[in-house]
A = this chain, B = another copy of it.
Amino acid sequence: MKILIIGAGGVGSAAVSILARRSFFERVVVADYDPARAARATAPYDDRFVAAPSVDASNVSSVAALIRESGASHVLNAVDPRFVMPIFDACFEAGVTYLDMAMSLSHPHPERPYELTGVKLGDDQFAKAEAWQKAGLLALCGIGIEPGLADVFARYAEDELFSSIDEAGVRDGANLAVAGYDFAPSFSIWTTIEECLNPPVIYEEGRGWFTTPPFSEPEVFDFPEGIGPVECVNVEHEEVLLIPRWTKAKRVTFKYGLGDEFIDVLKTLHKLGLDSTAPVRVKGVEVSPRDVVAACLPDPATLGDVMTGKTCAGLWVRGMGKDGQPRSTYLYHVVDNEWSMQEYGHQAVVWQTAVNPCVALELLADGRWSGVGVLGPEALPHRPFLDLLVDYGSPWGIQELPV
């Protein structure tokens, strides 16, 4: 297998460090808009890893040309979700397998944004599902940690643990702290703003997908392994769009443990229009305010050394167990930043995201996973994934909660 990774930011670089310990592929080409980043990501590793020249991920034919030159059969999209569609289309054009960790962007309903969905996350990709299927090509979408492992957990819950699911609710929380900064998000602020300020989407059987105002339904969730209680709120996320397509949950939600301070920052950015991606004119140049916010904050990928704590991603499933008794189970994955920094030199959040597409690529390489069309992780068998994740040194957990 020859792999092309597009994007040498935090997640792309962490994926390189993880793949460097595996042997299922022959070659990994890493490309970025900034060729120096691609070179930095590959430099520490053996000669299976090669940095490509600069790529413009917004341009389908440039990306398709790069895919052909790289000789890759599998492309991992590790850039921000603005570039999902050009990379997805370039993979179709080049006839290769596509993997991403975030799906095509949503657009709110023009009149009733906080009640109805407009264009949903992934809609632009699913609109092309038939073409992918007919061409015999696979786009494996949302195969990071969330979406990704959370979706694998949904498959596992339905197949092995529950006879019926009342709610499949992704819950994400952390106790990460960054020393020396007043404010330093541990994940891309661009993506965090996108997720948190878009109207959150919820799925309910009978009603389908609908939206609410941002930060709705606050709830304190008690995260395992010492993280403890964190205030979580509804956030727009791919799992809510993916899980109902392949499982029978009556309700699907995503709640993110943002905490009060982060919610206040996001509300303020929104109030001032600084969350906007539309360019503003500033003394003769045009910039997107959201890009300026990102440029003012430290790059989360560089914060591993000054960060402490753990991050947890998981799926809280409630319903009837296989034994016919009510059941409430949290399936989760925790990464300790100290461990990921020591083992891989990458901080917990980006490492936790990056490990999942590496596992998926290995399953695709040896045929334990296969398929055609535009698929989410819950469309594929969970067992080989969950077992191989443990083999990557990164066990997942299961916790029974009071019903």
Contact = CB atoms under 8 A, between A and B. Distances in A.
Contacts of A182: 270-271
Count the copies: 2
A287 B297 contact: no
A296 B272 contact: yes
A116 interface: no
Interface stretch (A41-49, A277-285, A319-327): A277-285
Contact of A282 (B272, B273, B295): B295
A370 interface: no
A135 interface: no
Interface string A280-301: 1111011111011101110000
Contacts of A272: 183, 265, 269, 293, 296-297
A264 interface: yes
A183 B293 contact: no
Contact of A183 (B271, B276, B280, B288): B271
A289 B296 CA distance: 8
Contact of A283 (B270, B273, B276, B291): B291
A273 B182 CA distance: 9
Contacts of A62: none
Contacts of A285: 285-287
A292 B271 contact: no
B283 A296 contact: no
Contacts of A296: 272-274, 276, 280, 289
Contacts of A265: 268, 271-272
A62 B27 CA distance: 61
A269 B293 CA distance: 10
Contacts of A292: 274, 280, 282, 287, 289, 292
A192 to B, nearest CB: 12
Nearest to A291: B282
Interface of A: 182-183, 264-265, 268-274, 276, 280-283, 285-289, 291-293, 295-297
23 contacts: A183-B271, A183-B272, A265-B268, A265-B272, A269-B272, A272-B293, A274-B274, A280-B292, A280-B295, A280-B296, A281-B295, A282-B288, A282-B291, A282-B292, A282-B295, A283-B288, A283-B291, A285-B285, A285-B286, A285-B287, A289-B292, A289-B296, A292-B292
Query: 9 smallest A-B Cβ distances: which pairs?
Result: A273-B296, A268-B268, A285-B285, A280-B295, A183-B271, A182-B271, A292-B292, A282-B295, A282-B291
